[in-house]
Amino acid sequence: MTYIDNIVNNYKDIIQLYLYGEEQGEAIEKCQAFSEEVIEMDASPEEIVSLHIELLDDMGIQDGELVKKSLDILQEIIISFGFTYRDYKSMMNKLEIHDKEMDVASSLQETMLKTTIPTFDTMEIGAISVPARKVSGDYFNIIDHKDGMLSFAVADVIGKGIPAAIAMSMIKFGMDSYGYSQLPSDSLRKLNRVVEKNVNQNMFVTMFYGLYDHSTDLLYYSSAGHEPALIYRYEDDEFEEIDAKGVVLGVKVHARYEQRETKIGPKDMIIVFTDGVTELRKHDDTFIDFENVKDMIRQARDHHPQDIVQYIYESLMRIQNPNKKDDLTLFLLKNNKNLD
């Protein structure tokens, strides 16, 4: 007996039970299980109506009263279809609202949060930030204070949709509105207060904040729970990990941030990234060996930072498991002064 025959027989039994049996309630109850089954197999309401007509013929039911009575069963089943249809419609509505929310957040990011990369004679900057989905959780901002100082921040906002986009705008406007260069530890302390007040419970922000003085080549930096950054020492051909103690933004009201400084030599590079790089999953689902990323930087070291980050991004995309994508951001600053 095929599956379809089974369905037909079930339906026949229900009609039989309802019209000629003693327990009509039982027949009605069976309708529910039956509807679930046919809805599950994607049968349409009109197919059920056809089946009903066929079965009446088949069973030789012609008496007007009986035909009318059998319609109770049909009605019962069509009601279930109605429920399913309404569920479906409300789900579609929710999806539409969700899509609209994502569109708003996404266009907010594309317009308000856009950062232009400034150009200088003494240094070169490259940055790339690619969202895994429509809305990114990664964010970077670069501010030229026009006083020989440059601020940059790379952040990962954990949380989704509009709240995440709002958190990013707060960060951007917080940073931009200072108007003059601020020490990284002070900036993070202020940003923490802004984020802490406004985010929903599960949300937090990791951020690496740097202030680069390009007259003295000193980098001041602080970190709010962000991935350690790297400095590539050109002359030694070596990488140095830089990190400073500090909790993520938005968790602790009175957080304090350690600040450190280091000298950036000629042709040295500062590389800041998000966990889309360090926690990248390869095709076989294992994690990337970070030494590979360092090798990529090394190989491309004599190119412009924008070309370097583009090259790393493309190389990473080739090894990444496309089903385990995460937002990915790379920021690279190269001291362009010549070696003596």
Partner 1 sequence: MNINIDATEKEQEYSIVLEGELDVYTAPELQKVLEPIRQTGSHDIRIDLTDVSYMDSTGLGIFVGTLKDLNQHDRELYVTGVSKRILRLFEITGLRDLMHINEASEVE
Contacts with partner 1, residue ranges (CB under 8 A) = 156, 158-159, 200-204, 206, 224-228, 243, 245-248, 250-252, 275, 279, 326
The nearer residue to partner 1, 51 or 272, going by C-beta atoms, is 272
Q: Which of 302, 295, 227, 245 is nearest to 269 (CA)?
A: 302
The nearer residue to partner 1, 23 or 289, going by C-beta atoms, is 289
Report the nearest approach of partner 1 to the CB of residue 82 (Å): 28
* Edge-to-edge strand ranges of the sheet holding 328-335: 123-130, 328-335, 269-273, 229-233, 238-242
Report the nearest approach of partner 1 to the CB of residue 248 (Å): 5
The nearer residue to partner 1, 186 or 307, going by C-beta atoms, is 186
Report the nearest approach of partner 1 to the CB of residue 202 (Å): 4
The SS3 assignment for 249 reads strand
State residue 267 phi and psi, 5-degree precision: 70, 0
Q: Taking a C-beta distance cutoff of 8 angstroms, is the pair 138, 327 a contact?
A: yes
Cα–Cα distance measured from residue 148 to residue 214, given in angstroms and rounded to the nearest whole number = 6
The nearer residue to partner 1, 89 or 324, going by C-beta atoms, is 324
Q: Taking a C-beta distance cutoff of 8 angstroms, is the pair 144, 118 a contact?
A: yes
The nearer residue to partner 1, 134 or 252, going by C-beta atoms, is 252
Report the nearest approach of partner 1 to the CB of residue 50 (Å): 40
Report the nearest approach of partner 1 to the CB of residue 235 (Å): 29
Q: Taking a C-beta distance cutoff of 8 angstroms, is the pair 218, 261 a contact?
A: yes
Report the nearest approach of partner 1 to the CB of residue 324 (Å): 8
Q: Within 13 Å and on the Cβ side, how many CA atoms surround 179?
A: 0
Q: What is the CA 201 to chain-centroid distance, rounded?
A: 17
The nearer residue to partner 1, 41 or 95, going by C-beta atoms, is 95
